[in-house]
Structure 1
Amino acid sequence: KPLLRKFKLDMEGLREYLDIIQSLEPLPGASFDGSEPTYVSPDVFVYSVGDEFVILLNEDGLPHLQLSSMLRDGVPSCNEKEKDYVSEKVRSASWLIRSLYQRQRTLYKVVESIVKHQQSFFRDGVTKLAPLILKDIADDIGMHESTVSRITTNKYVATPHGIFELKFFFNSGLELDDGSQVGSESVKALIKKFIAGEDPKSPLSDERLGELLKEQLKVNIARRTVAKYRTALNIPSSSKRKEHF
């Protein structure tokens, strides 16, 4: 009513303007994205075995390095300069082997901690993903946050629910009415699920999606927040989805 008075419009005229506004694209470059799909090989596998989860590191791409038995038994007979040279190379090789072992050990500890914190996800899927931050894992395994950040960058894990980047498991939380929290990725997964099951002739508005989320999760979520999550999922607005239909 304030808009009708301010712009001296009738309801039909206002609807025409609203239809134009809803047809606009806030991310005009999105339709020109021509990137090729990226294929990844998981660095870690998590299998469900009974009531437990088993973690296996994928070491197919890692070289199996070891020092020559000749060097382990001592540097061959040679002069001091040659001995120093060989000793330096042995130290460098030993350092590389230890570093690779430490990297794998750290990766295992990080994934083990993620599985512990995200038990609901590994049992039931994305809609049960809990809020989690780097500090939670760092404190759990006794390492610095920067170490956890490095080891989870561009690393992928194969789970019973698909392949995910390790960074995926770190997400902010939304507070529920009972004081507990739900992960933002869980909310995105539910939005995706609701839209996948909608009537194409009458797609769900962001406001209606917010109502559905409140019914299922008992969380009050603003329409603009729903729109932000929907946009992050590269899902167009309800008016665009209806047009495409």
Structure 2
Amino acid sequence: LERLPRSGVAGLAHELKQPLAEVETAVALLRSLDPRPGTQIAPLAQDTYVVPDVVVWRQNGLWRAALAAHAGPKVIIHRGYEQMIRRCGEADAGYLRAQLQEARWLLKGLQARGETLLRVVRSLIHQQAGFLEFGEQALRPLTLREIAAELGLHESTVSRAIARKHVRTPRGTLPLRAFFASGIDTEGGGEASSTAIQAMIRRLIDDENPRKPLSDAKLADLLKTSGIPVARRTVAKYREAMNISASHERVRIA
């Protein structure tokens, strides 16, 4: 199987010293088999769906953001319990008033959490407008520290605000972590994010000649001509992070 994509059916028949028709029959048999026979007994786990916490859209050329309708918990203080405090004795009223104040602080904390999340998202879409408009290749380097400094918040506050949070955008529903990326200095004096570089590598590999795939060294050279000076080992690291095989494993004869 490992040699079939490189040698093709004819090449494999020559290597095995077998008639071409027999090798073609064997390959056809392999293609007819179920690669996941266990699913006939136990089906694969059902897909899980992400519910976004924030919605982002473009209006009159500007990017807008708002909390999703279901983002905040629907918690209110029952008016009947508030009225009970007025009717109960003074001994119990003090305790109940303290609990009512705790409930009010909880509601205020939930509201503040939503406001902080919205502030962070608005800052992100301002910083990464190019990413929303053009995709991963336009993602600029951005850190939690930069957003925290812009909003006057602690870095840990920003980290907690975006933890396990998703945003619905015209490009799909994305984790807020996707808006952050480390950077590499470019020859033009700017920076390119690691995510943007991975997108460039993926595009180059998608467009390569399957008979002569691009090596990591060649990919590094092509990136350098685009003003992105990255080492071959860095290209290899990004390629492996995207689960893309090495060039000798991507050869396709037929």
Larger radius of gyration: 2
1:79-94 matches, cutoff 5 A: 79-94=89-104
Query: Which of 222, 232, 236 is 1:227 aligned to?
Result: 236
Measured against aligned partners, the alpha-carbon deviations of 1:183-209 in whole angstroms (never above 9, x if no partner) come to: 111001111122222222222211121
Query: Aligned partners of 2:199 and 2:45: how far apart in 1?
Result: 23
Q: Counterpart amino acid of 2:128?
A: Q
* Identity value in percent: 37
* Residue identity in the other structure for 2:208: E
The letter for the 2-side match of 1:225 is: T
| Residue 178 (structure 1) aligned to one of 188, 198, 209 | 188
Match of 1:237 in 2: 246
Relative to 1, partners in 2 of residues 1:53 and 1:190: Cα closer, same or farther, differing over 3 Å?
A: same
The secondary structure found in structure 2 opposite 1:158 is strand
Name the SS of the counterpart of 2:168 in structure 1.
strand
How many residues matched? 211
Q: Secondary structure of 1:86's match? A: helix
In structure 2, what residue type is equivalent to 1:235?
I
Q: Distance in 1 between matches of 2:243 and 2:48?
A: 17
TM-fit CA distance, 1:234: 1.3
Q: Secondary structure at the match of 2:57?
A: strand
SS in 1 for 2:96: helix
In 2: Cα distance, 1:212 partner to 1:37 partner? 38
Normalised by the size of structure 1, how large is the TM-score? 0.78
Unaligned runs of 5+ residues in structure 2 are: 1-43
Matches within 5 A, 1:198-209: 198-209=208-219
Q: Which residue of 1 aligns with 2:78?
A: 68
Pair 1:238–1:98, CA change in 2 (3 A): same
Q: TM-score, normalised by structure 2?
A: 0.76
Distance 1:161 1:136 in 2: 24
| Partners of 2:211 and 2:253 within 8 A in 1 | no
Higher relative contact order (CA 8 A, sep 6+): 2
Structure 2 CA distance, aligned partners of 1:154 and 1:104? 14
